[in-house]
């Protein structure tokens, strides 16, 4: 992955209404990026960064990427990077997990990001830009009681690894990030089940800084062990 300085770049943060996404958006702006905020909660999006362009929508909506590109190009002339920090989690044995929960896990964590990439890729190819996907440690270390969530994140990481090679020829870089448990509050907003007892997680700001450092340094992945 080539280095991508954030100063002067136009960067979309997907999931910017969430705890980690909001920090990524603010931190990217602090490094000089023009940030486009993407998420489901318009009110929360508008509280993240004053004056930032906002695109409201769900990753399961295949048109979200089209609207993102239209907004970025219409307001800023280009799109240099996309950071996908959206995600959902569910806990419990697979046999007790409803079909609707499985569907939402995979639509939000895998299918939606692929829908999005298909539509933003021409703009990223034009700018020789970058894509970041926030996967998770369970992509490396699947956990009992989290089979569906682990599978969804492993699928996202597999897609990132394939896309790293597939997109090299068009000059688009891919960064896969697999942080350990992070104190974003996501575990308390599970689609189903209750989180197991977890050790204290990482500070979300530490994760946000590591992600943006990796973008600017040109790293191709951040594994769980890279977070210490």
Catalytic residues: 149
DSSP element (H, E) containing 20: helix 19-30
Residues 6+ apart with CB under 8 A from 103: none
Q: What is the DSSP letter of 108?
A: I
Map residue 166 onto helix, strand or coil: helix
Q: Tell me the two tokens of residue 68.
A: 């993102």
Q: Tell me the two tokens of residue 93.
A: 């044995």
DSSP element (H, E) containing 84: strand 81-84
The candidate with the shortest Cα–Cα distance to 117, out of 86, 90, 138, is 86
H runs (alpha helix) in 31-188: 42-46, 64-76, 99-106, 112-127, 147-166
- 8 A C-beta contact, residue 149 and residue 181: no
Q: Tell me the two tokens of residue 201.
A: 């997680």
How many other C-beta atoms can be found within 10 angstroms of the C-beta atom of residue 119? 17
Longest alpha-carbon distance in the chain: 49
């Amino acid at each position: 992955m080539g280095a991508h300085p954030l100063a002067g770049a136009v960067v979309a943060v997907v999931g910017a209404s969430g705890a980690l996404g909001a920090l990524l958006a603010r931190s990217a702006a602090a490094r000089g990026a023009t940030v486009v905020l993407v998420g489901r909660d318009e009110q929360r999006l508008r509280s993240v960064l004053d004056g930032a362009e906002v695109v409201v929508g769900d990753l399961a909506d295949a048109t979200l990427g089209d609207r993102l590109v239209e907004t970025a190009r219409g307001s800023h002339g280009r799109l240099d990077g996309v950071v996908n920090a959206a995600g959902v989690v569910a806990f419990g044995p697979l046999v007790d997990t409803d079909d609707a929960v499985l569907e939402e896990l995979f639509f939000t964590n895998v299918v939606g990001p692929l829908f999005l990439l298909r539509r933003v890729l021409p703009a990223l190819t034009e700018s020789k830009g970058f894509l970041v996907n926030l996967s998770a440690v369970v992509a490396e270390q699947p956990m009992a009681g989290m089979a569906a969530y682990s599978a969804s994140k492993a699928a996202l990481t597999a897609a990132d690894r394939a896309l790293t090679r597939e997109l090299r020829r068009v000059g688009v870089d891919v960064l896969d990030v697999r942080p350990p448990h992070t104190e974003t509050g996501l575990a308390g907003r599970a689609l189903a089940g209750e989180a197991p007892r977890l050790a204290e997680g990482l500070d979300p700001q530490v994760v946000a800084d590591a992600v943006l450092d990796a973008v600017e340094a040109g790293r191709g992945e951040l594994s769980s062990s890279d977070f210490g």
